[in-house]
């Protein structure tokens, strides 16, 4: 009897999106075709320790998105040796081989190329973009520069760093450098404007600024999560999302529209409040514009060196322009997440989607193994 493919599913992580990752992993694990795949559950706690979980008790309070937690007491701590395709129990040295890994990690130290680099060193195939695509996808500043240079429309933005922001968050003292003033930001971008960490996801640390008194607090909030902050013009348009799937020849799903009931599509609206937004799939768009959203999404996917999967978030303005807001290289897989919903509406079920993603990971690894690494 042929052995099932052993799939390491990594979730949790040292990220503000730890709980979202747990929700996503729960659904991925439930949708995995266990006739073909043997799941190996690997949870990373908030301190960064890796644990091999087993059975149905790998999560605590799994039905409550606010209180969901990794059950470390029901797990064994593991270490990950480079050069070996597997994990090792820290207490016994017992080795567990892995054929492929599905990282269900959101945010820094998981979605940003760090884990992807580790897996490449271990020669383990993995789902989603590789190191470069993951790093670009996480850094909104670099991402927007590449989109702009490729001629793909995106919102105007200003990038500032903590060292030149005009104040030191730790000491509270003003620096001697000339900071970006509210007046200058308003002149370049207009009002309202968004202030967000350059390297964070799920709207963590994001503020919508409508007046001067909110500008500095917004910067302070964003700088809690990253040393580089993006200030971005607000686009008056519909929020349209499109899922992309594939390696060298990616395909796009139907487009879907997100209609937030909150001030904007915040963290709570995405993952906590089931009534935080209404979703329309497919989006009611003229055929030509819907096609342009799909074409733009694929173009952004390729420009940003993505493979496997990504969700591309766009704006469609009243005059029919399509602008890319950002790309998400490990999109949410929670029960209210757009990526699996968009593919379901495009004819690919949740379980089939997971299978395709694993197959794409194995396909890419096989392709890369044929490349020469020496003379």
- Judged against a pLDDT cut of 50, whether residue 167 lies above it is answered with no
In a domain, 119, yes or no: yes
The answer to whether residue 17 sits within a structural domain is: yes
72 in the same domain as 14: yes
Report whether pLDDT(356) > 60.
Answer: yes
Distance set, CA 327 to CA 59, 143, 371 (Å): 29, 8, 28
- CB neighbourhood size of 331 (10 A): 25
Q: Do residues 289 and 141 share a domain?
A: yes
Instruction: Please state the three-class secondary structure of the chain as a single string.
Output: CCCCEEEEEEEECCCCCHHHHHHHHHHHHHHCCCCCEEEEEEEECCCCCEEEECCCCCEECCCCCCCCEECHHHEEEEECCCCCCEEEECCCCCEEECCEEEEECCCCCCCCCHHHHHHHHCCCCECCCCHHHHHHHHEHHHHHHHHHHCCCCECCEEEEEHHHCCECCCCCCECCCCCCCHHHHHHHHCCCEEEEECECCCCCCCEEECCHHHHHHHHHHHHCCCCEEEEEECCCCEEEEEEEEECCCCEEEEEEEEEECCCCCCHHHHHHCCCCEEEECCCCCCHHHHHHHHHHHHHHHHHCCCCEEEEEEEEECCCCCEEEEEEECCCCCCCCCHHHHHHHHCCCCHHHHHHHHHHHHHHHHHHHHCCCCCC
- Domain extent, residue 67, equals 5-126
312 shares a domain with 228 = no
Angle at 6 between CA 11 and CA 311, to 5 degrees: 45
Could you read off the pLDDT of 101-121 as tens digits, one per residue? 999 999 999 999 999 999 999
pLDDT at residue 93, rounded to an integer: 85
User: Can you tell me the mean pLDDT for 263-269?
Assistant: 58
pLDDT of residue 177: 43
Q: pLDDT category, 176, cuts 50, 70, 90?
A: very low
Between the alpha carbon of residue 23 and those of residues 68, 69, 264, 332, the distances in Å are: 8, 9, 22, 9
Say if residue 371 is exposed, middle or buried (CB neighbours under 10 Å; 0-12, 13-18, 19+).
exposed
Average pLDDT over residues 324-346: 95
Instruction: Please check whether residue 131 lies inside any domain of the structure.
Output: no
Q: Based on the fold, state whether residues 182 and 288 are members of the same structural domain.
A: no
Are both 147 and 99 inside the same structural domain?
A: no
User: What would the mean pLDDT of 321-338 be, rounded to a whole number?
Assistant: 94
- Tell me how far apart the alpha carbons of residues 58 and 25 are, in angstroms, rounded to a whole number: 11
pLDDT band for position 37 (cuts 50, 70, 90):
very high
* Rounded average pLDDT over 47-63: 90
- Give domain status of residue 23, yes or no: yes
Residue 173 has pLDDT above 50, yes or no: no
Comparing 65 with 36, which gets the higher pLDDT?
Answer: 36
pLDDT at 67 over 60: yes
The answer to whether the peptide bond before residue 335 is cis (omega within 30 degrees of 0) is: no
pLDDT higher than threshold 90 for residue 279: yes
Mean pLDDT value across the chain: 91
Model pLDDT for residues 210-241, shown as the tens digit of each residue: 999 999 999 999 999 999 999 999 999 999 99
For residue 288, pLDDT beyond 70 = yes
List, for residues 139-155, the tens digit of each pLDDT value: 999 999 999 999 999 99
Would you state the pLDDT for residue 270? 54
Q: What's the whole-model pTM score? A: 0.92
Residue 163 has pLDDT above 80, yes or no: no
Q: Are residues 188 and 317 in the same domain?
A: no
Residue 48, domain CATH: 3.40.50.20
pLDDT of residue 132: 98
Can you give the pLDDT at residue 154? 97
Contact call for residues 293 and 322 (beta carbons, < 8 A): yes
pLDDT confidence bin for 82, thresholds 50/70/90: low
Say if CB 269 and CB 224 are below 8 A apart: no
Verify that 176 and 314 share a domain, yes or no. no
């Amino acid at each position: 009897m042929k052995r099932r493919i052993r799939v390491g599913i990594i979730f949790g992580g040292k990220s503000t999106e730890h709980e979202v990752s747990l929700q996503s992993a729960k659904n991925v694990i439930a949708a995995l075709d266990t006739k073909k795949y043997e799941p190996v559950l690997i949870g990373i706690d908030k301190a960064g320790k890796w644990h091999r979980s087993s059975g149905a008790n790998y999560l605590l309070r799994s039905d409550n998105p606010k209180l969901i937690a990794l059950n470390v007491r029901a797990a064994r701590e593991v270490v990950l040796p480079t050069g070996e395709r597997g994990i090792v129990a820290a207490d016994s040295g017992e080795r567990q081989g892995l054929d492929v890994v599905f990282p269900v990690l959101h945010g820094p130290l998981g979605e940003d190329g760090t884990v992807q680099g580790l897996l490449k060193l271990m020669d383990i195939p993995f789902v989603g973009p590789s190191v470069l695509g993951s790093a670009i996808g996480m850094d909104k500043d670099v991402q927007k520069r590449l989109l702009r240079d490729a001629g793909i429309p995106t919102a105007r933005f200003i990038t500032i760093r903590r060292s030149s922001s005009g104040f030191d968050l730790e000491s509270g003292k003003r620096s001697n450098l000339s900071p970006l003033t509210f007046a200058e930001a308003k002149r370049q971008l207009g009002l309202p404007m968004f202030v967000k960490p350059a390297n964070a996801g799920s709207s963590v640390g994001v503020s919508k600024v409508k007046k001067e008194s909110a500008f500095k607090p917004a910067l302070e909030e964003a700088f809690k999560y990253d040393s580089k902050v993006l200030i971005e013009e607000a686009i008056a348009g519909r929020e349209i999302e499109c899922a992309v799937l594939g390696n060298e020849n990616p395909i796009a799903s139907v487009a879907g529209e997100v209609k937030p009931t909150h001030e904007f599509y915040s963290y709570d609206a995405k993952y906590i409040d089931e009534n935080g937004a209404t979703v329309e799939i497919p989006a009611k768009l003229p055929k030509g514009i819907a096609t342009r959203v799909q074409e733009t999404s694929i173009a952004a996917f390729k420009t940003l060196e993505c493979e496997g999967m990504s969700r591309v978030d766009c704006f469609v303005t009243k005059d029919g322009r399509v602008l890319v807001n950002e790309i998400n290289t490990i999109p949410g897989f929670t029960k209210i997440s757009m990526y699996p919903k968009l593919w379901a509406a495009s004819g690919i079920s949740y379980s089939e989607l997971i299978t395709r993603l694993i197959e794409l990971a194995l396909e890419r690894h096989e392709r890369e193994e044929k490349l020469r690494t020496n003379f």
